[in-house]
Amino acid sequence: MAKSEAVPVRIGIVAGEASGDALGARLLRAVKSQLPHVVVEGIGGPQMQAEGCTSLFPMEQLSVFGLTEIVGHYRDLKRIRQALVSHFSKQRPDVFIGVDSPGFNLGLEEALRARGIRTVHFVSPQVWAWRTWRVHQIRRAVDRMLVMFPFEVEFYARHGIEAVFVGHPLADEILEQREPYSARLELGLDSARTTVALLPGSRVSELKAHARLFADTAAWLHAHSPQLQFVSPFINAETRRLFEAAQQQLGERAAPVLCLNGRSRDALIAADVVVCASGTATLETLLVGRPMVVTYRVSWVTSWLVRMFSHLERYAMPNHLAGRALVPELLQRDAVPEKLGAAVMHYLESPKEVANLLGQFREIALSLRGNAAEHAAAAVIELLGEATVH
């Protein structure tokens, strides 16, 4: 039975990083269009808070990555999770939504579901890629899994878990490829110069691993092709500070890089080629329609565990979705400036290859479009027992 307007629906929600904050905000906006008096609290960043989410803890406290990095923050994460379980046990939400961050959210969802609270997880962890045994916890933790890629529905069905394909919000949002020249002018770049965008990651831990690598790569490219210009967006002041410190370490060898506060989409649109850390940025780069070189570094312990338990040969999302190597992946030992720089130069010297690549990107983008936020909201509201979104 639907709740009356006098007793608003309560939603608990937790996002642990910038990409989750954006996804959560889109979902909340779609839910609010059907349930305007919904009460939302949990953990979210500025975008979710703008949609009315009361954040009980700063989202930045959850923004850690890699197995060894999480171990280093274990006590803090455990304390926050216990506080949320206690809070939601007393102020019971009608549904709890974990947005990504499975290392934190699945344990929280399991505890809340055991207390009779309905749970949704939005964005499947890559259990189809590695650590497949986690499906047992997912089966205990979630009433409904909302997935962004079609192949995930069949995977979860094999494991007895209800999954709903909602499409990918970014694919809905990024519908056109804007030409780069106006974007360059808006950013203060030279509209006529070939531009390389550098996206070293959104987490502080990623910048600690990648800042010097990306600064060195820009320096290598600048030495080999001085006419290039560089732009690099950052999610917050701390990540930008880490990159700028790496630039300073290079002294006169450093390439001039325009550092931006936010505006990652504009940086991608302005670029001819993108060098990016593996993650959400690779999908956004595909949707914008720019050739990319993908890289990543983690601690040796995390790397060893990934190799031991991964089921994938390719980690970059464009390559996984295509089932073949569309873009170069230069990870760990291969993540060196010379290889990254050479891969960028190859794109710049191979226009026919780039045109073919972008055609394949467009095909993938079309397969992921479908009003994701609205479909996700409908799945949540259906679980609440509210009327299905029409």
Q: Which pLDDT value is given to residue 308?
A: 46
Give the start-end residues of each E strand in 252-291.
Answer: 257-261, 273-277
Q: Which amino acid is at 55?
A: S
CA angle 224, 230, 231 (to 5 degrees): 165
Distance from C-alpha of 61 to C-alpha of 52, rounded to nearest angstrom: 20
Sheet holding 144-147, edge to edge: 53-55, 39-43, 10-15, 95-99, 119-122, 144-147, 163-165
Q: Could you tell me which residues are beta bridge partners of residue 196?
A: 230, 273
- Is residue 244 classed exposed, middle or buried when 0-12, 13-18 and 19+ CB atoms within 10 A define those classes? middle
CA angle 363, 365, 366 (to 5 degrees): 70
C-alpha torsion angle, residues 313, 128, 209, 257 (rounded to 10): 80
Q: Is the separation of the CB atoms in 204 and 239 below 8 Å?
A: yes
Distance from C-alpha of 375 to C-alpha of 165, rounded to nearest angstrom: 8
pLDDT along the chain (390 residues), means of 10: 65 92 94 95 97 95 58 79 97 96 94 97 81 90 94 92 91 81 95 97 92 98 98 96 97 97 96 93 94 83 49 72 90 93 98 96 90 93 65
- Tell me the domains of the chain and their CATH numbers: 10-172+369-384 (3.40.50.2000), 180-368 (3.40.50.2000)
Q: Which pLDDT value is given to residue 125?
A: 87
**Token representation of residue 360:** 């394949």
Q: Which pLDDT value is given to residue 179?
A: 86
SS3 call for 89: helix
Cα 192 to the center of its chain, rounded Å: 31
Determine how β-strand 273-277 pairs with β-strand 257-261: unpaired
Q: Is the separation of the CB atoms in 386 and 192 below 8 Å?
A: no
Secondary structure (DSSP) of 39-84 = EEEEE--HHHHHTTEEESS-GGGG---SHHHHHHTHHHHHHHHHHH
Q: Which pLDDT value is given to residue 341?
A: 98
Q: Which of 53, 5, 2, 4 is nearest to 25 (CA)?
A: 53
